[in-house]
Chains A and B, each alone.
Chain A
Amino acid sequence: MSDQTPGAPTTVTRVPRDPSANEEAYLEVNDLQVQFPTADGLVRAVQGLSYSVPLRRTLAIVGESGSGKSVSSMAVLGLHDRKVARITGSIKVGGREVVNMSDKDLEGFRGGDAAMIFQDPQSSLHPYFTVGNQIMESYRAHNNVSKRAAKERAVDMLGRVGIPNPRRRVDQYPHEFSGGMRQRAMIAMALVNDPKLLIADEPTTALDVTVQAQILDLIADLQRDFGSAVVFITHDLGVVAEIADDILVMYAGTAVEHGPVNKILGQPLHPYAWGLLESIPALTGDPQPLHPIPGSPPSLLAVPSGCPFHPRCEFKDRVPDDWCTTLRPDLIPRTADLGRSSRCHLKDPDRIFETEILPRLP
């Protein structure tokens, strides 16, 4: 992530590692709520989520399954069926409001200025169409070009994402690709229209570790070339450290901690983030037992009162007056550092982290 390259748009003034600086956000999510009415009740998948991502920056959204990270990101692309999902709040992409956008406008918006890479390239690519055909379709949806020109573009894109022999590969079906190659093809498809916003929904989860690293490098390289804003959804903190500028930790549909990557990974302030760090296995030294977070993520049908993390929090006794079970904390700056915020009632989280959590980390 170097400084601004010559010839790039000059509206973005980048001050690395200081999100409080005056950067123009390309993606701006404000008080987003996504709810699904079901026979069992209302599923509150996302509750009051706010964040922003400028061009050339990567935000990692981290959390367990069911924390609302994918649901919120699909809302950014308007991918939820509006007959099923209730979406309120605001999502602005390049100044355009997505939440109430008409179906017609959504079609032009999806895959053009904003594109998405999905988790499992095996099931996310259509098995009955060639890879080239699928990339061409994406390109021709936004560019009025001939099939021949679109195919040239597809070959070009396959080459750019590092697929060898793209001219032959373009006519093959997804099942003729390996897992890593499939994900590269997926990335080529997402980037074919030079999107300014790229959402990557756990793009490396279905891949083995060596391929993961290649895909991460690829996304980082392409981001540099394309200058896009990237939202990277993952549950792998190792991936986060490699690729992200900022981290948003989600729990039960809300952000519980938000800030620059080195701060959050170096000194997290929320007990849930501590739990995530503790549950990473140590690869060096003596084998030590893992420290998983006790309990399981709450049902989004009945989110716990107060702080949604309280049933699993080992520090809730240190907060007076049962606040943890009755009062939902706000997402506010917890230290003098304005660039980061956390959603917790604890008075002295930084001290607890240094004296109690840090010694336990591998």
Chain B
Amino acid sequence: MKEEQAVLLYILRRVLSAISVVIVTLVASFALFFFAPTDPAGVICGPRCTPERVADIESSLGLDQPKVEQIALYMKGIVAGREYSTGGVVRHCDAPCLGYSYTLGQPVTKLIAAALPVTVSIVLGGAVVYLIVGIMAGTIAAQVRGTSLDRFVVGSTLVVQAIPYFVFALLIALYATFLPDSGYHPFLDNPFAWASGLLAAWLTIGVTNAASYTRYSRASMIEALGQDFVRTATSKGISRRRVVYRHGLRAGLTPVVTIFGIDLAFQLTGAIFTESIFNLPGIGLLTLRAFNQYDLPVLMGGVLIGSVVLVVMNLVVDIVYTVLDPRVRLG
């Protein structure tokens, strides 16, 4: 009972600190983008635009307000929603409002809500591939350490890692024509179409990341299998398989889980190459486009989502760690 209270308290504390990290990130990126010498109103208006028209757009978007008020307005939008007027039409943007895209004519929240499931699908599906392949290959290599099979596995990981990621993605996109056409279909509409449309992207992320996960798992398993408690397990008379997979893998996987949590967070902030090459409208593609077109609200939204994902994943890793390793106490 006491234990559970401690865990709840810990999570509460972590959530509060996570929120403050997100706010700091928000203010910093707001300052970075909005103090920059950009001209969003000019971009919206186009090349043949009168100064009056630009001023009109700026005032309707609130860009003529002091920066501090703009930040306050942005924050208020996240918490309570806000109003926008474009071209004389007033639109309401519900909370959490992340602003309004000048170039796409849509609320940023809606854009991100559409793009996030795509990126999550790509990244999680890819993670399933590289975790299974990497941990299996690493565990097997650790058991036959020093043999030609081990050297083959390690050599292959080096080759895969030596190929730049986008080259690999291009190779799959160009030559793996037997794979179904890639594209995003929502999972709830048609799970089969969802999976087949993402298969190429999953394979790309899976194979390229499997190389490093093979090496992490191999090193971690070699260390785990050399531990005294593995010798104790062997001395009990249980099968070698049980020794390796119950006692060795249990200890060997814990460090891999930590790396995975951090990797996953970074991948979720946008698989830009994968999304571009396989034409999947995820967060990466959205922010890339926003970057090219000075679409500051969308960029801000991307940064916000990125920081939230990072902070949340860190928290998740820490909590999972206490489940995996009973020696770790929250506090």
Interface residues of A (CB under 8 A from B): 77, 79, 103, 106-112, 115-116, 118, 120, 123-129, 137-138, 141-142, 173, 175, 186, 189
Contact = CB atoms under 8 A, between A and B. Distances in A.
A128 B328 CA distance: 10
Minimum-distance CB pairs A-B, first 8: A111-B237, A110-B237, A111-B236, A123-B228, A126-B229, A138-B236, A124-B228, A173-B326
B324 interface: yes
Given A125-B229, A125-B232, A128-B251, A137 B326 contact: no
Contacts of B231: 79, 118, 124
Given A126-B229, A126-B232, A137 B238 contact: yes
- Residue with the greatest number of chain A CB neighbours at <10 A, chosen from B234, B236, B247, B326: B236
Given A77-B235, A108-B237, A124-B231, 12 more contacts: A79-B234, A106-B237, A109-B237, A112-B237, A124-B228, A126-B250, A128-B250, A137-B236, A141-B236, A141-B238, A142-B237, A189-B232
- Residue with the greatest number of chain B CB neighbours at <10 A, chosen from A125, A126, A142: A126
B164 to A, nearest CB: 36
A175 B237 CA distance: 24
A109 B237 CA distance: 7
Contacts of A116: 235
A124 B250 CA distance: 15
Given A123-B229, A125-B229, A126-B229, A107 B326 contact: no
Contacts of B235: 77, 79, 110-111, 115-116, 118
Contacts of A126: 229, 232-233, 247, 250-251
Interface residues of B, number: 21
The prevalent SS among residues of B at the interface is helix
B327 A175 contact: yes
Contacts of A125: 229, 232
B325 interface: yes
Interface string B237-263: 111100000010011001000000000
Nearest to B237: A111
Nearest to A110: B237
Nearest to A111: B237
B232 A128 contact: no
B227 interface: yes
B251 A127 contact: yes
A107 B229 CA distance: 17
Contacts of A141: 236-238
A142 B237 CA distance: 8
Contacts of A138: 236-238
Given A125-B232, A175-B326, A107 B247 contact: no
A107 B250 contact: no
B203 to A, nearest CB: 33
Contacts of B251: 126-128
A186 B236 CA distance: 11
A125 B228 CA distance: 8
Nearest to A106: B237
Contacts of A123: 227-229
A120 B232 CA distance: 11
26 contacts: A79-B234, A79-B235, A103-B240, A107-B237, A107-B238, A107-B240, A108-B237, A110-B236, A111-B235, A111-B236, A111-B237, A111-B238, A118-B232, A120-B228, A123-B228, A124-B228, A127-B326, A127-B327, A128-B254, A128-B324, A129-B250, A137-B236, A137-B238, A138-B237, A141-B238, A173-B327
B69 to A, nearest CB: 54
- Residue with the greatest number of chain B CB neighbours at <10 A, chosen from A79, A107, A123: A107
Contacts of A79: 231, 234-235
Nearest to B234: A79
B225 to A, nearest CB: 10
A273 B232 CA distance: 31
Contact of B234 (A110, A129, A173): A110
Interface string B302-331: 000000000000000000000011110000
Contacts of A142: 237
Contacts of B227: 123
Nearest to A74: B231
B321 to A, nearest CB: 12
Given A173-B327, A175-B326, A175-B327, A127 B229 contact: yes
- Residue with the greatest number of chain B CB neighbours at <10 A, chosen from A112, A118, A127, A189: A127
B143 to A, nearest CB: 10
A125 B250 CA distance: 13
A302 B57 CA distance: 87
Contacts of A189: 232, 236
Nearest to A130: B326
B186 to A, nearest CB: 39
A106 B326 CA distance: 32
A118 B228 contact: yes
Contacts of A118: 228, 231-232, 235
A170 to B, nearest CB: 15
Interface string B207-232: 00000000000000000000111011
A125 B231 CA distance: 10
Nearest to B247: A126
Contacts of B325: 127-128
A111 B233 CA distance: 9
A122 to B, nearest CB: 9
B241 to A, nearest CB: 10
A108 B234 CA distance: 11
Nearest to A199: B235
A173 to B, nearest CB: 5
A118 B231 CA distance: 9
B20 to A, nearest CB: 33
B236 A124 contact: no
A286 B237 CA distance: 51
A230 to B, nearest CB: 16
Interface in B119-159: none
A112 B325 CA distance: 30
B151 to A, nearest CB: 15
B327 to A, nearest CB: 5
